[in-house]
Amino acid sequence: MTTTELIIQLLITGLANGLIIALIALGYTMVYGIIELINFAHGDVMMLGCFLALTIVGLCGGEQLSPWIALPLLFLTVPFFTAGLNWSVEKLAYKPIREAPKLTALVSAIGVSFVFINIGMFWGGLPMDVFGGGGSAASAKSFPDLFGWSNLLGEQSAVLLTPRDVMVAAVTIPLMIGLTFFINRTRMGTAMRAVAQNPTAAKLMGIDVDRVIGLTFIIGGALAGVASVITALYTGSIHFQMGYRNGMDAFTAAVLGGIGNLPGAVLGALLIGLVRAVMEGYVPNGGQWSNTVVFALLILVLVFRPNGILGSRVREKV
Amino acid sequence: MRSWMTSTMRLLVGSALGTIFGSALIAVDTITIVSSLPRTGSANAQTTSMVNGIKMALDEYQRTLTVGGTNYSLTYEDWDDASPERGAWDPAVEAANADKAIRNPDVMVYIGTYNSGAAKIAMPKLNQAGLAMISPANTWPGLTKPNVGEANEPTVYRPSGSINYFRVVPADDIQGAVGAAWAKELGAKRVFVLHDRELYGQGIAKMFQQNAEKLGLTVVGTEGIDGKSGNYKSLINKLRLARPDLVYFGGTTETGAGQLAKDMQSGGLTAKLMGPDAFYNSALINAAGNAALENRVFITFGGIPPEQQTGKGKAFVDAYRTVYKIEPEGYAIYAYECTKVALDAMVRAGKKDRAAILQALRETKNYDGALGKWSFDDNGDTTLALMSGNTVVNGAFSFVKLLGQ
Amino acid sequence: MSDHPTIKIIARFWPHALLAIVLVLPLFGDAIATKLTPIMVFAIVGLGLNVVAGFTGLLNLGAAAFMAIGAYTFAICTVPIYPFQIGFWPGLGVAIMVGAVAGTILALPAMRLRGDYLAIVTLGFGEIITDVLKNLDAITKGTQGLNPVAAPEIPFVTYSISAYKPTYYLYLALLLVAILLCHNMRKSRLGRQWIAVRDDELAARSMGISPARTKLIAFAIGSGLCAFGGAMFASLNGTSIEPSFYDFQQSVVILCIVIVGGMGNVKGVILGALIMVGFNSIILVNLTEWMTRNGWTGNNVLATPSNWKFMIFGLALILMMRLRPQGLIPAQDVEPVTQKPATAGATP
């Protein structure tokens, strides 16, 4: 493998992982931008989405299911489910305590996260073939390979580009462009930006703040739903504790880029994906240090740019 | 009236305190066996199967035991050494379990732990109390053997100076050697050694590596990986650069063995994957699916696998299937064997006395159990050194050959 | 608080009653002593976090990392494989100092950050500490942990390690010292500066208080207390345990101890530790055992009570936050700074 091939390979893996993190990070950063809440349960919403995806695949024939049926089916169901879930969480767990200290909502979010983790474990115990017949609820579950393992660059190529990598890019990039358009060009997007900047003033201008907040959770949840389908297909296995790690990466990405800032979240996510790819895929013994490097990078960036890479927009409260 | 009320109150408060703090009600006709295993979190499937194994052993005795002419009823308590926020074994809970067992005079045997790290906490406590501890799953060699682990092992676990800890599962120094020899037999020349940085995984990876080097295999890389990582696609790139023909993973299904197998397959790696006994559970097949494992994964496991057994081992598996309608996990038979050998020692001891039972356990020789015929050696280790090599075929574990003969 | 006289009396005297109960309880048996001792440790760690998060209003998501620093420092000072072996009390002292220094080092670059950015830096610091402890296995023995560390000892008193009561009373005494310390600090000039910086940094600055210095001291003292608790926990367990014990989840538990009781309130922290640790290691454990003993658990994943722990834990947190969002005993003196101002964003 030549140096160029190595760099291309690391880029492919890093960007694919980074794009998935970005989808989850968008959900964090949007919610934070609106109500300044670190929604700890977000990663677990995505985890439950993965379990729904596996259930659907299992009901429709498992490994035999054609990707051309599976993909539309999953993308039409899972995001609706996660969006609804995220919306209900907001209504049940966050809205009643919106006026309380911010930490109160944070603890509530941690509580929601624990409940979801438990639900995920029970879900894994369903007596279905895809869940291993229900015998071992807590173990990781294999997600059927719907794409196969061909190398799109030809079997002789040293660089490996699988249909999965392409699928990740083909789904996430248009979605992000669409979201940017929605936030910047539509009436509802403008309302969201207004609430993020100043909820009181937005309310005075006749914006239904509750509705905007609800919508933010719905969009964030839907993005997490898309992320869960992609993650399940990309990594090929799901686990009831996967929400924590994915959520942590995404949350870090959001802060790295400047929390509340959408392009910042994507930038932060890609950066984390690439750093991890280089550490795990090239640096000797780098795998065990990749977490340290990611968080050290985060601390360094925050020390020199206290509002994140692109986070100049975030107001300082006195 | 008043005195009636106060006495009722006292009774209520007393029983409430009793319930909360698990007061030790002394009943002469009871022998209690406890197990301390992580019942919350990712090891749950494995430990549920182990608890089933223990229950089966007790049920074979109809939960009664005649010791020295007295009839005792056998009680079993299934203790969790995990806590919800950790989702894995918790040192504070394990310490509390050990203390609780010591204080209850009916407890004669402590079955556990699952994690070698947890054993390190319980061992010195139980040792001082002179209570027998039998582990169905700890494989860290340092727990029993001198000069293998740390300098102060195993004396640090034996403050009383005598041995109270036994295990029915072969330790990792044996398993590492057996694994390396098998790797060579499979035609491997270049091996890449991965571990999950946990006590168990790192330990066995080290043993494998030492033995592989002794046998003349080239170790092309060693790497500690993050067992909780979402996927190992980047790591595969490093493996491809090193071109190994066998990858050894000192790790468990809970720390990413299934994901590693999946990513090795999807990354176009043709190298074989070898792993220790912690791979030998249905969770691995659930996690990786058959395609990523079939004839690609090679697993060493202590003793002859139950399916290959003809005598008591087969009887255990058959009975397990009948009762629980599901295949037993890898460690279930060890948990069963622990309980059986403990009951056997009690009968041999002839009285309900911790010291006598401990002595009887130390003298266990040529015990004919579900795992075959074995003894406890002077360190408290099983003499069972026979291991089996297994792979996966058609979504089920499949025996390949006997190792270490 | 309600005005009903009974409630007033309870509110006024429950700490005294609690003290009386904990002094007497171990006489009912070692079982109670062993179960309550970890609560004392976590109460001290909670008090440490309370100095930073409650008094000074700096959200610290890495409290467990300081516990780890304390535990490992104590271990390195006392295990036989290292030449120091300075014993229990000097070990505690060194652990506190190293914890305080580590807190200051973290706080120095973090002083420029506010609110959630500071929180994520402390979270990152926590992840780094557990990773470093895990990876530097030449020093820390990696996931094996360092053992045997020095056991708790009372000066001039010898007792067996399996005697739980002396350790219980020793730890209770140490907790009372920590409570007294926190209480007095809160009432002192320094404590008032913390509150001032927490409630209005700008106003505090214009009154001649240096916010940076005030926050640094809070971090040093808070981290020192967390390290103290970590060292005590290591001593209690006889081992430094393992790095991943001090992970983010542990930090969350400590944070919950502070929040459930009521941020910025010493009494609240004690109550929080009692509830969080007690719920976990006493109530849930015994419920599970009781159900198991009665044969109510089967092979079904839903029928095993221990499988419901996450759910119960999570629901308890959600309900608690909904019904008493300020914690069980809200700090009465001042509004916490973490309160979102009604005019959020109206200020420039």
The predicted-structure confidence for A100-157, as pLDDT tens digits, reads as follows 777 778 888 988 998 999 999 889 888 888 887 766 677 788 898 888 778 888 878 8
Question: Minimal Cα–Cα distance from A282 to chain B, Å?
Answer: 6
Residues C144-173, mean pLDDT to the nearest whole number: 81
Peptide bond into B47 cis (omega under 30): no
Average pLDDT over residues C155-183: 85
Question: Would you call A241 and B228 a contact, using CB atoms and an 8 Å cutoff?
Answer: yes
Answer whether residue B36 is part of any domain: yes
Q: B20 in a domain, yes or no?
A: no
C contacts of B82 (beta carbons < 8 Å): 306
Q: What is the pLDDT of residues B65-115, one digit of tens each?
A: 988 888 899 988 888 888 765 667 887 788 888 988 988 889 999 998 998
DSSP state of A91: I
Question: What single letter denotes the amino acid at residue B342?
Answer: A
CATH number of the structural domain spanning residue B99 = 3.40.50.2300
Tell me how close the Cα of B38 comes to any Cα of chain A, in angstroms. 12
The amino acid that residue C154 corresponds to is I
Indicate whether C93 pLDDT > 90: yes
User: Is B188 a domain residue?
Assistant: yes
Q: How far apart are CA B206 and CA B46, in angstroms?
A: 25
User: Does some domain include residue B157?
Assistant: yes
Three-point CA angle C245, C251, C252, nearest 5°? 120
- pLDDT above 60 for C347: no
Give, in order, the Cα–Cα distances in Å from B32 to each of B38, B63, B297: 19, 10, 41
**pLDDT-wise least confident of A301-315, B187-201, C328-342:** C328-342
Span A24-43, pLDDT tens digits: 999 999 998 888 888 889 99
| Interchain CB contact of B394 with C (< 8 Å) | no
C85 — contact with chain B (CB < 8 Å)?
Answer: no
CB B88 within 8 A of CB B43: yes
**DSSP for B76-104, written as a single string:** EEEEE-EETTTTEE-HHHHHHHHHHHHH-
Q: Mean pLDDT score of chain B, rounded to an integer?
A: 85
Contact check, Cβ <8 Å, C28/B17:
yes
Residue A309: per-residue pLDDT: 85
Q: What angle do CA B4, B18, C35 make, to 5 degrees?
A: 140
Collect all residues with Cβ–Cβ distance below 8 Å to C124 and sequence separation of at least 6.
Answer: A252, A295, A296, A298, A299, C62
Residue B165 included in any domain: yes
Measure the CA–CA gap between C60 and B314, rounded to whole angstroms.
56
SS3 string, chain C, reads: CCCCHHHHHHHHHHHHHHHHHHHHHHHHCHHHHHHHHHHHHHHHHHHHHHHHHHHCCCCCCCHHHHHHHHHHHHHHHHCCCCCCCCCHHHHHHHHHHHHHHHHHHHHHHHCCCCHHHHHHHHHHHHHHHHHHHHHCHHHHCHHHCCCCCCCCCECCECCCCCCHHHHHHHHHHHHHHHHHHHHHHHHCHHHHHHHHHHHCHHHHHHCCCCHHHHHHHHHHHHHHHHHHHHHHHHHHHCCCCCHHHHCHHHHHHHHHHHHHHCCCCHHHHHHHHHHHHHHHHHHHHHHHHHHHHCCCCCCCHHHCHHHHHHHHHHHHHHHHHHHCCCCCCCCCCCCCCCCCCCCCCCCC
Within 8 A of C121 by CB-CB distance, chain A residues are 298-299, 302
Same domain? B53 vs B143: yes
Q: Is residue B1 domain-resident?
A: no
Q: CB-hemisphere CA count at 13 Å for A92?
A: 12
Domain boundaries, chain C: 8-323
Residues sharing a CB contact under 8 Å with residue B125, sequence separation 6 or more, in sequence order: B95, B98, B99, B102, C162
CB B394: neighbour CB atoms within 10 A? 7
Does the pLDDT of residue B342 top 70, yes or no?
yes
Question: In the predicted model, is pLDDT for residue C17 greater than 90?
Answer: no
For residue C283, the chain B residues in CB contact (below 8 A) are: 20
Q: Do B35 and B138 have their domain in common?
A: yes
Residues B329 and B251 in one domain: no
pLDDT tens digits, one per residue of C25-63: 877 777 777 778 889 999 999 999 999 998 988 888 899
In a domain, B252, yes or no: yes
User: Does C309 touch chain B if contact means CB atoms closer than 8 Å?
Assistant: yes
Over residues B213-241, the mean pLDDT reads: 89
pLDDT tens, position by position, A64-102 = 888 888 889 999 999 999 999 999 999 999 999 888 777
Nearest CA of chain C to the CA of B19: how many Å? Answer: 7
Specify which residues B396 forms β-bridges with: B393
Q: How far is CA B255 from CA A193, B185, B249, C32, in A?
A: 42, 27, 10, 36
Contact yes or no for A301/C120 (Cβ under 8 A): no
The Cβ of residue C108 has, within 10 Å, a number of other Cβ atoms equal to 13
- Which of B29-43, C122-136, C325-339 has the lowest average pLDDT? C325-339
Contacts of B377 (CB under 8 A, 6+ apart): B383
Question: Which residues in chain A touch residue B259, judged by CB atoms under 8 angstroms apart?
Answer: 140, 235-237
Residues in chain C: 348
Name the pairing type of β-strands B246-250 and B272-275: parallel
Same domain, B223 and B317: no
Evaluate if residue C299 carries a pLDDT over 70: no
- Using alpha carbons, list the distances in angstroms from residue B40 to A43, B88, C80: 21, 7, 34
Residues 313 to 342 of C: which have CB under 8 A from any B CB?
313
Spatial distance between the Cα atoms of C4 and C119, rounded to a whole number of angstroms: 39
Q: Which residue type is seen at B262?
A: K
Q: Which candidate from A108, A200, A291 shows the least CB-CB separation from C344? A: A200
Q: Would the pLDDT of A52 be above 50?
A: yes
Cross-chain residue pair A142–B262, CB shorter than 8 Å: yes
- The Cα B122–Cα B141 span in angstroms is 16
Between chain A and chain B, the number of residue pairs with CB atoms below 8 A apart is 152
Share of chain C above pLDDT 70, in %: 88
Given a cut of 60, whether residue C348 has pLDDT beyond it is: no
Chain-chain contact of A121 with C301 (C-beta, under 8 angstroms): yes
Q: Residue A284 has what pLDDT?
A: 87
Least confident among B123-127, B244-248, B300-304, C151-155:
B300-304
Per-residue pLDDT at A135: 62
Q: Is pLDDT at C302 greater than 80 in this prediction?
A: no
Indicate if B296 and B180 belong to the same structural domain. yes
Q: Which positions ≥6 away from B128 have C-beta within 8 Å?
A: B159, B160, C161, C162
Residues of C numbered 296-325 whose beta carbons fall under 8 angstroms of chain A's beta carbons: which are they?
300-302, 307-311, 313-318, 320-322, 325
Chain C adjacent subunits, 3+ CB pairs under 8 A: A, B
Same structural domain, B32 and B142: yes
Q: Which of A15, A139, A248 to mutate to test the interface with B (most CBs of B within 10 A)?
A: A139
- Assigned domain for B8 exists: no
Residue numbers in C near B92 (CB within 8 A) = 38, 233, 237, 281
Q: Do C316 and A111 touch (CB under 8 A)?
A: yes
Rounded Cα distance, B372 and B366, in Å: 9
Same domain, B327 and B287: no
Counted domains in chain B: 2
* CA-wise closest residue to B206 among B139, B255, B297, B110: B139
Higher-pLDDT residue of C93, B203: C93
For B321, the token pair is 């299937």
Cα of first residue to Cα of last residue in chain C, in angstroms, is 36
Number of Cβ within 10 Å of residue A285's Cβ equals 14
In this structure, are B246 and B140 located in the same domain? no
Structural domain for B51, as ranges = 27-170+312-374
Report the distance separating Cα A93 and Cα A231, nearest Å. 27
- With a pLDDT cut of 90, the percent of chain B lying above it is 41
- How many angstroms separate the CA atoms of C1 and B401, rounded? 72
Answer yes or no: do B123 and B263 share one domain: no
CA torsion through residues B345, B346, B350, B356, sign: positive
Contact A104 C318 (CB under 8 A): no
- Neighbours of A, requiring at least 3 CB pairs below 8 Å, are B, C
The nearest CA of chain A is from the CA of C225 a distance in Å of: 22
